[in-house]
Amino acid sequence: MKMYQLIAMKEGRQMMSSRRGLVWLLAFSCLLSAFSLLLVSNTELSLLDNAQVVNMMCGTVMAVGALLAVVLGSDAYAGEKERGTLVPLLCAPIDAQALLVGKALGMLISWAVMFLVAMPYLWAVGASGQNLGAALFYLALFGTPVVLGFGYLAMAISARTGSVLASLMSMIILLLLSAGPLLIGPGLRATVIGRTMDMVNPFAGALNTFDSVIIDSQSFADQAGRFLLVAVWLALCLWVARRKAAHPEFQ
């Protein structure tokens, strides 16, 4: 077994078998249950058509996934440092890049589990519509690079600062800034500033794609520009993480 696989195996087991991981999954399930219940029972929300409901849920799953990546990424180096487990890892014959890849794979396992947990909920609210398959496909295709990008960036800050709190605070602010333009009204988003922010914001890019393919049934070719945006985002975050994780703060 390769070094990065050993790290990923540990990360996956830690997430899935630890109390923290189980609490996270339970909270995520409760959130999706409450959301589904609201969509069915709330007078105004129940008027939304099927595609809009699936679109909203895809956005929620990606946002929670990005939050999970931020938490795991912040803990990846700084958390290990604070618990005294980073130095023994660095003293073993593990290449710094293998450590990063292993940690990213562990994060990907957690995202995959979240994705699996979300599937029955998406099916429950969207099975009667026509775009459930597309929703799942685009959630995987656009959601994964966005989530992983946030995770890489959190790992970079975590490796550089050696502080979970510093990394977590910085990344939550960045996550809120990314999601911020989506919270402002449609009128403001239609302005030059709003459109520019949509163009450079990978989070907005992914959400707009969900909107286009799930509600408007657009084709993949129409989403090429947005896909490029999330791909560039992932590549940029990976580049930063590789640089910072090459010499993590451990002492």
Partner 1 sequence: MITIKGLHVSIEGRDILKGIDLHVRPGDIYGLLGPNGAGKSTTIFALLGLREYESGHISVLGYDPKNHGAILRRSIGVMPEHAGFYDWMTATAYLRWYGRFYQCPSTSSKVEELLEKVGLKGEGQIPISGYSRGMKQRLAIARALLPRPRLLILDEPTNGLDPKGRREIHDLLTDYARDGSTAVLLSTHLLDDVDRLCNRIGIMDQGCSRYEGSLMDLLTQGKGSVRYRLHLESEPDAVVMPAGMDLLGRDGDWWQVEIQLKASEGPSSYWRELWRRGWPILEIRSEVSSLESFYLDTVAPSHLQLRETV
Among 17, 33, 196, 217, binds partner 1 (CB under 8 A): 17
Total residues found in the chain within this entry: 251
Among 26, 30, 92, 173, binds partner 1 (CB under 8 A): 92
- Binding of residue 25 to partner 1 (CB under 8 A): no
Q: Which of residues 95-134 bind partner 1 (CB under 8 A)?
A: 95
Which span (10-18, 134-142, 146-154, 214-222) binds partner 1, by CB under 8 A? 10-18
CB 232 to partner 1: min, Å = 31
| Cα dihedral 151/153/155/160 (nearest 10) | -170
- Binding of residue 94 to partner 1 (CB under 8 A): yes
Contacts of 38 (CB under 8 A, 6+ apart): 45
Q: What whole-number distance in Å separates Cα of residue 162 and Cα of residue 155?
A: 10
Q: What secondary structure does DSSP assign to 49-91, as a single string?
A: -HHHHHHHHHHHHHHHHHHHHHHHHHIIIIIHHHHT-HHHHHH
- Binding of residue 243 to partner 1 (CB under 8 A): no
Side chain identity at 225, as an amino acid letter?
G
Q: What whole-number distance in Å separates Cα of residue 133 and Cα of residue 137?
A: 6
Which span (92-100, 135-143, 162-170, 217-225) binds partner 1, by CB under 8 A? 92-100
Among 91, 183, 192, 221, binds partner 1 (CB under 8 A): 91
Q: How many residues contact partner 1, by CB under 8 A?
A: 24
Return the half-sphere exposure (C-beta side, CA atoms, 13 A cut-off) of residue 88: 6
Nearer to partner 1, 17 or 130 (CB): 17
Give the chain's largest Cα–Cα span.
Answer: 60
**String of contacts with partner 1 for each residue 188-217, x by CB under 8 A:** ------------------------------
Side chain identity at 154, as an amino acid letter?
A
Contacts of 121 (CB under 8 A, 6+ apart): 32, 33, 35, 36, 57
CB 94 to partner 1: min, Å = 6
Among 47, 84, 128, 186, binds partner 1 (CB under 8 A): 84
CB 180 to partner 1: min, Å = 34
Contacts of 111 (CB under 8 A, 6+ apart): 65, 68, 69, 143, 144, 147, 148
Among 6, 25, 166, 215, binds partner 1 (CB under 8 A): 6
Name the token pair of 204: 């907005």
Contact residues toward partner 1 (CB under 8 A) are 1, 3, 6, 9-10, 14, 17-18, 80, 83-88, 90-95, 247, 250-251
